[in-house]
Amino acid sequence: MKHLSRIGSLLLASALTLSVVYQQPAQGHRSLPQETYHRAWQLVRDNYYDSSFNHRDWSDLEHKFDGSIKTNEDAYKYIKVMLEGLNDPYTRLLEPRAFQDENDAIDARIVGIGINLQQSKETKRLVVTRTIEDGPAETAGIRAGDEIVGIDGLNAIGMTPEQAAEHIRGKQGTPVQVAVSHAGTAKTVNITRQEITIHAVSSKMLDNGIGYIQLSTFISNDASREFRQALQKLSNADGIVLDLRDNPGGLLSNALEIADMLLDNGAIVSTISRHGHHTDLSSGDPLTHQPIVVLVDDESASASEILASALKDNGRGVLIGTRTYGKGLVQEINRLPGGAAIHITVSRYLTPSGSDINKVGVIPDVNEADKERQFQKALVCLKEKIATLKPTFGNNKPISSMNVIRTQNTAVARR
């Protein structure tokens, strides 16, 4: 199996390949809660991308709370206090339930009702951005654009999506009561929780010979495989619309693999950590040469931005939509003693053109805020590209195997 070309030493490659690290508790006199805190402190000390720790004396925090940590809850409390000083929203603690939820998402299976939620920046209300096709919520009549205003009698206004997920998820076969508001009309529905298989990719052939692929997340281990299957399904299309709107990111390895399926050559992404500078290059062996137009918006984040900028900067795809979210940092997930975990920002990344998009975003080639017009402009742009390439375009490589990077580690680049 051919691997992506890499620049840098084996140490730098390991530093880039972000991983879930299963650590054994250190032997010594500390209690498990104290060990949990100390391990989190140590991991940040050794791996955080900013060696100044936001201009803080990190050693001062090693034993600062020893006398106050008696329980796991104490450990979690003081880890959060410790991390607050970094002023980095992406370096954060995942308590055991949240860590399990993340692992479930990576495994592409959760027990819930099958909805994606975002909190409105203006109203702080929970908005349904997507429902799983034929899932419990969709079957109950919940649709994208609905607001979730109550969960099991609790007021959901002001809840974060993570807090709402805590209440919505539960044992398979148990009911949850969800209050929904749409255009001023409220209703309450009882929904039975089910195990949901999360599909990262949906695809279809449009009537005009254009293929459409919606990539909704990079978090699932199956995302790259599903994307390859979508390309195979649409191998006879004249061109592809790739929809990355509302995609919050996920596993870095998925972004690298999918970019490599589409790029003829060039860099995919460069990362800069305390250990040095590393660049991932495409293998130059793409699975298709079909023209591509990419749809993006202000919710396209992290791994979405890596893929979008790789296609844009290498001249492989035209970006249409609005400026993307602007997350140019990469996290490593480390398991802590006791079942919790910690996300640590280990590097920042640059696009192939050398741009740092953190808090800036990727600027599309064609700016368009209206979602329907975004799609129509994508079709017009794609038809123009097809017309230009038609005399020479036509031989797509059969998609039978995927010549892409493989790793046993789990990489995360998401919002």
pLDDT computed for residue 312 by the predictor: 98
Give, in words, the CATH class of 201-414. Answer: alpha beta
pLDDT computed for residue 107 by the predictor: 84
* Chain segment 8-19, per-residue pLDDT in tens: 211 122 222 233
Domain locations in the chain as residue ranges: 23-99, 112-197, 201-414
> Quick check: helix, strand or coil at residue 353?
coil
Instruction: Evaluate if residue 170 carries a pLDDT over 70.
Output: yes
In this prediction the pTM is 0.79
**Do residues 129 and 151 make contact, with C-beta atoms less than 8 angstroms apart?**
no
Q: What is the DSSP letter of 363?
A: P
**Do residues 183 and 189 make contact, with C-beta atoms less than 8 angstroms apart?**
no
Give CA–CA dist 198/12, Å, rounded: 32
Lowest-confidence region among 22-26, 95-99, 266-270: 22-26
**CATH number of the structural domain 23-99:** 3.30.750.44
Q: Which helix (H) or strand (E) holds 343?
A: strand 341-350
Range 247-266 average pLDDT: 96
Burial of 183 from C-beta contacts in 10 A (0-12 / 13-18 / 19+): exposed
pLDDT computed for residue 328 by the predictor: 96
Instruction: Evaluate if residue 399 carries a pLDDT over 80.
Output: no
**Do residues 114 and 137 make contact, with C-beta atoms less than 8 angstroms apart?**
yes
Instruction: Evaluate if residue 3 carries a pLDDT over 80.
Output: no
Signed CA dihedral, 231, 232, 235, 236: sign only:
negative
Range 166-172 average pLDDT: 88
Range 122-143 average pLDDT: 89
> Quick check: helix, strand or coil at residue 201?
strand
Q: What pairs with residue 319 in β-bridges?
A: 294
Catalytically annotated residues: 302, 313, 327
Per CATH, the homologous superfamily of domain 112-197 is PDZ domain (2.30.42.10)
Percent of the chain having pLDDT more than 90? 69
